[in-house]
Homo-oligomer: A and B are copies of this chain.
Amino acid sequence: MAAKKPSIREVAAYAGVSTATVSNVFSGRKPVNDELRKSVLAAAEHLGYRIDRAASQLRSGRTRIIAVLVPDLTDTFFATIVSRLETQAFQEGYDVIVASSHDDPSVESSRLKALLSWRPAGLIAVPCSSSIPAELIEIEKTLPMVLVDRVASEGAIADTVTIDNREAGEVAASHLLEHGHRDIVIAVSDLDFPPIFERAEGAASLIAERTGVRPVTLKLGSNMEMGAKTFSDWMERNAPPGAVIALTNVTTLSVLSALAEHRIAIPDKTSIVAFDDYAWMAARNTGLTAIRQPVDRIAETAWKRLELRMDKGTEAAVEPSVLKASLVVRDSVRDLGSRKPDPVGGDAEAGALAGERVLAASGQGQDIH
């Protein structure tokens, strides 16, 4: 029955060649006569031989493992990234080992240690807070890695892939302002996350600039139920806002939930601009206007960058990739009389941003599952 897993030696013996030849057949590092190759393949097939990655990796020092660390696999945003990475990696002959930090720095640290002991060929990580864990800094120069999403675009220690979060915040705010909204609340998860901070900053400062007052910012955390409670409580002490910008998919859920509980109609009573474009946002009667992050391109870019690093070594200068989000207009923003604001002239930079800001997209995203 050949019950116990056969080794390369058995195959070699069965095919009447040396182990080196078998190895060459499978790795393709050296050419092998076609006849021999065939008999090796036949022998392998017959014995049910499969190469032992552990032995292979130990000897060669090379590894076909990509370590992926995310804060939470349950969040579709991260799950989608992992999914795309896994597909890409597999196509290039890598396997992916995942770990999730559950947004806890100490878990993150120990997961990282575990991942690193595989001596992976590369690492793609979404850190859980703004402070890069010590483990990463330590091995930064020896391991190809790229940091995604939850990173400050400034003093990065490695290649990064993010979206232009400040602009994304501005686009959301701008959309509301252009529809005549002034009473705007910004719902954030946690300002310690760099992308959230930047989105909030982008939105808040644009609103301040146009209206003269900084909007209220509500911290709802990363848990939907608790966020809904917080927002609900706030609405009981204050009037329901005319509009809210929800900077995260779970804050969006929190806000929606609280709004539903209070029977506040969208967009009649309060308008909403969501973040992260998911299928469920489009599927109901008043679809949600949202800022779509190009998840696929984020994953793709991260992979490309990692491949580059793995080829070229870790010496080359660190480079940040910044992608653009886009606005998907649906029905959740009420038009209070579209007084097109004067294009905030005078300031060249503002002009340029305003140009970028025309990011409206219409169709369904085929990239969103």
Question: Which A277-302 residues have a C-beta within 8 angstroms of B?
Answer: 278-285, 287
Q: Output the nearest chain B residue to A79 by Cβ-Cβ distance.
A: B79
Q: Pick from A51-59, A149-157, A168-176 the stretch touching chain B.
A: A51-59
Which A positions have Cβ atoms within 8 angstroms of B? Answer: 3, 5, 48, 50-55, 57-58, 63, 72-76, 79-80, 82-83, 86-87, 90, 95-100, 102, 111, 113-119, 138, 142, 224-225, 250, 253, 256-257, 260, 263, 265, 278-285, 287, 364, 366, 369
* Complex contacts, A53 vs chain B, CB 8 Å: 54, 117-119
| Chain A to chain B: the 4 pairs with minimum beta-carbon distance, closest first | A73-B83, A256-B283, A79-B79, A280-B280
Q: Output the nearest chain B residue to A3 by Cβ-Cβ distance.
A: B142
Q: Can you report 28 residue pairs joining A to B where beta carbons are below 8 Å apart? A: A3-B142, A50-B113, A52-B117, A53-B54, A54-B54, A54-B55, A55-B58, A73-B82, A74-B76, A74-B79, A75-B369, A76-B79, A79-B79, A82-B98, A83-B100, A86-B100, A90-B111, A95-B99, A96-B98, A97-B97, A224-B279, A224-B369, A225-B364, A253-B280, A253-B283, A257-B279, A260-B284, A280-B280
Q: Output the nearest chain B residue to A75 by Cβ-Cβ distance.
A: B369
Which of A57, A63, A90, A284 counts the most chain B CB atoms within 10 A? A284
* Complex contacts, A253 vs chain B, CB 8 Å: 279-280, 283
Which of A53, A80, A111, A263 counts the most chain B CB atoms within 10 A? A53
Min CB–CB distance A115 → chain B (angstroms) = 8
| Contact between B95 and A96, CB atoms less than 8 A apart | no
Q: Output the nearest chain B residue to A364 by Cβ-Cβ distance.
A: B225
Min CB–CB distance A61 → chain B (angstroms) = 9
* Complex contacts, A142 vs chain B, CB 8 Å: 3, 5
Report the separation of the CA atoms of residues A116 and B97 in the bound assembly, to the nearest whole angstrom.
14
* Complex contacts, A260 vs chain B, CB 8 Å: 283-285, 287
| Contact between B100 and A98, CB atoms less than 8 A apart | no
* Complex contacts, A263 vs chain B, CB 8 Å: 285
Min CB–CB distance A265 → chain B (angstroms) = 8
* Complex contacts, A281 vs chain B, CB 8 Å: 280
Report the separation of the CA atoms of residues A100 and B58 in the bound assembly, to the nearest whole angstrom.
26
**A50 and B117 contact, Cβ closer than 8 Å, known pairs A83-B100, A86-B73, A98-B98:** yes
